[in-house]
Structure 1
């Protein structure tokens, strides 16, 4: 007897085409036009099911939930959609979809997902000896994902929605690590509680400990009252530590203890405080190499690397450039709608974006401001390698030496920050100065990171 696969789609031509494809692969395909019809069948007879997102009556997500409920989560279900939508992908994975595929679906994609499910079903313990386990589970915040690599990220967010596991997000500076962290939080059971984000590279080392763990009155000069730290502010919710690779070794040891013992000790105190937080960390560095170089604790790395989500750089996801640019333009254009010319979009698509999504956002914002009309032309888009030279102009030459030095220093700092997507550690390395000196000069010149 051939293995059965259920196909739920109200579009007869697509349903029949998928049935034929599955028959070519040696399966018996059973097609129905609605989720209600599918629920009338004996679902234990099927290896898996395909369900369309847009169905009459009960929609695809409602049908997915009902199928999972009726089979006690034992039937793998693949959701099909003709329209890509990040929120729908995440919601489908949250409800337990095995995968979420976009129409038209290639034969290779069908063969691959069916093979994965078949291998998983064959290796799973029988229901007599083990309770059924979900095949997949989520998140939300609007992440734009047209590329396969980013859709895999969305699916990972969805599957993690019912978990409190520690997550390490890796990726280049500006690739969207904090947005992924916020999606993980907003799709979790802790969504109603706060998410506290701390950038370890943006806070001087001398202050980072008290920012994380809090301090008691008299702990140091200026500590006139007890002060809660990020762990306490995130109680019941999520603590996100960005650029954790920049954390000093002594502070890494204290963080490790907090993760292991689920308690912290405030600066200047000896009294432990219990914590209940979901922990997410992110870095643009290769932590495994940092461990080898004795710059990062191996035991902390293992604690953090329970689940890793690797974000692709924007140059590795060119399909996302246009929808991201158009999304940013809608935000920055405000009440005067604008759009890109075909040539402008082609120019963006050819660029490598060393600063990733953050650089694209800055380019779009600048183009929106400088564009004269409703259409942004190719000539109105200035890319990184086309920035005007920052050499000494006539105005600078007319300044006093101290003013000229200050002007040049400020421009160099802004250029380094912009070129490193405002990663202070990276900018300090480019400038050949200590990070603390960079902070001092940023304060002196009133340099503040622009809102993104």
Structure 2
């Protein structure tokens, strides 16, 4: 039964012969088992290790099994506990059910009966964890995606993605904003054996630094101001599935250290907790930066870079695969048209093919959506697309021999000016986070 495999079980009973029998039985089923005769030792271990199932004798010297149950549920509410009771403690065992015990067994009991109850308790815990992850995934609509294109660049990426899908190695996806990095991450997940498990995406650049660690790894109640309840982190929610870290280049250095440790061992600690927890998560990271340059600037850890650099997928910008524009337009007309019979004029399609799309596929999607709204009839005309008159990739004569960073500086300044200094709007046009925009304004010393 798959629910046994790699389950963490703690058994506490002062009858050493019975303890050895149970410990050996659960180990043969594939569980990671700790067998203890002391409830005090168990209490200390519960504060540092994470367990799926506890099996406690009610009658224990010192702290009894009821107190150990209460402590277990306080530390780890999701842990299931089975109580073992002798003659005269059945009423107490029934009371433990109110404290959160999964079930109890009265001594002497058949080992096969314990097997059945333990399997059901582990199945319940796994189902609860899976439902938590799938609920988040379904709310985000993560199992619905389309990758459109017949160009050689896209075909090559899709071929690599298919071949990498069932491996567990970290994958780094690079590409300009709007090229479809999250779609490739979803393909890596939904084309793999993890497809029925959660796909959890987090935009690293959109979270404040003081909340990022808690969001990723979770926290205990009272770990910091505002932590009014215990919270699972996204690495736990994504257990057995895929965690997609978008804009990984925005991650602060102190969180990079913790991510590196997690990638190497799949182990982590919640904020405010000393207990080590373990999950099985495939990590996919994406960035629109060139991480090699960030490493040389000291803004990205070299050891984390090499850990993520096992396999890199580089997505081509839309200007390098213009043969895909007609297919993409057809897709977005169907997507945004909501059942309307809307088309685009031949002149409109030609105008799109001449444009270089600094915002890539995302910008094209927005143009078609806008065109449907502005069209006076069922056909989108050139005027409805609102294509910018000056293409950022069509440089002035004096710009042609400028280095790339100077071109980027001038483009950011132009966009900021066209947005009347509105940084939120400028960041949206540029396809970067507001925090990234502030960083570039400071780096290039662009006056606000």
TM-score by length of 1: 0.58
Paired residue for 1:202, among 202, 206, 225? 206
Quick check: 1:418 aligned with 2:422? no
Aligned equivalent of 2:375: 371
Quick check: 1:224 aligned with 2:228? yes
| Higher RCO, 1 vs 2 (CA within 8 Å, ≥6 residues apart) | 2
Aligned equivalent of 1:34: none
Cα deviation, residue 319, structure 1: 1.0
Measure, in 2, the Cα distance between the counterparts of 1:366 and 1:282: 28
Task: Work out whether residues 200 and 241 of structure 1, in 8 Å CA contact, stay in contact via their aligned partners in 2.
Answer: yes
Task: Work out whether residues 215 and 266 of structure 1, in 8 Å CA contact, stay in contact via their aligned partners in 2.
Answer: yes
Quick check: 1:312 aligned with 2:307? no
Measure, in 1, the Cα distance between the counterparts of 2:435 and 2:177: 11
Q: Give the SS at the match of 1:201.
A: helix
Q: Give the SS at the match of 1:353.
A: coil
Measure, in 1, the Cα distance between the counterparts of 2:341 and 2:217: 46
Please list, as runs of the form range in 1=range in 2, the aligned pairs for 1:91-170 lying within 5 A after superposition. Answer: 141-170=145-174
Larger Rg: 2
Q: Deviations over 1:147-184 (max 9, x none)?
A: 10011011011111221111000001111100110111
Cα deviation, residue 415, structure 1: 3.1
Measure, in 2, the Cα distance between the counterparts of 1:411 and 1:296: 29
Q: Deviations over 1:253-281 (max 9, x none)?
A: 00000011110100001111001000100
Q: Root-mean-square deviation (CA), in Å?
A: 2.4
Task: Work out whether residues 203 and 245 of structure 2, in 8 Å CA contact, stay in contact via their aligned partners in 1.
Answer: yes
Quick check: 1:177 aligned with 2:177? no
Measure, in 2, the Cα distance between the counterparts of 1:199 and 1:261: 23
Aligned equivalent of 1:443: none
Cα deviation, residue 329, structure 1: 1.3
Aligned equivalent of 1:68: none
Structure 1 runs of 4+ off > 4 angstroms? 408-411, 429-433
Aligned equivalent of 1:284: 288
Cα deviation, residue 384, structure 1: 3.3
Q: Give the SS at the match of 2:205.
A: coil
Paired residue for 1:272, among 263, 270, 276? 276
Cα deviation, residue 425, structure 1: 3.0
Structure 2 unaligned regions, length at least 5 = 1-142, 392-417, 444-448
Q: Deviations over 1:109-162 (max 9, x none)?
A: xxxxxxxxxxxxxxxxxxxxxxxxxxxxxx994211211001101101111122
Aligned equivalent of 1:397: none
Q: Deviations over 1:12-55 (max 9, x none)?
A: xxxxxxxxxxxxxxxxxxxxxxxxxxxxxxxxxxxxxxxxxxxx
Measure, in 2, the Cα distance between the counterparts of 1:331 and 1:290: 37
Cα deviation, residue 410, structure 1: 8.6
TM-score by length of 2: 0.59
Structure 1 unaligned regions, length at least 5 = 1-138, 388-407, 434-452
Q: Deviations over 1:75-121 (max 9, x none)?
A: xxxxxxxxxxxxxxxxxxxxxxxxxxxxxxxxxxxxxxxxxxxxxxx
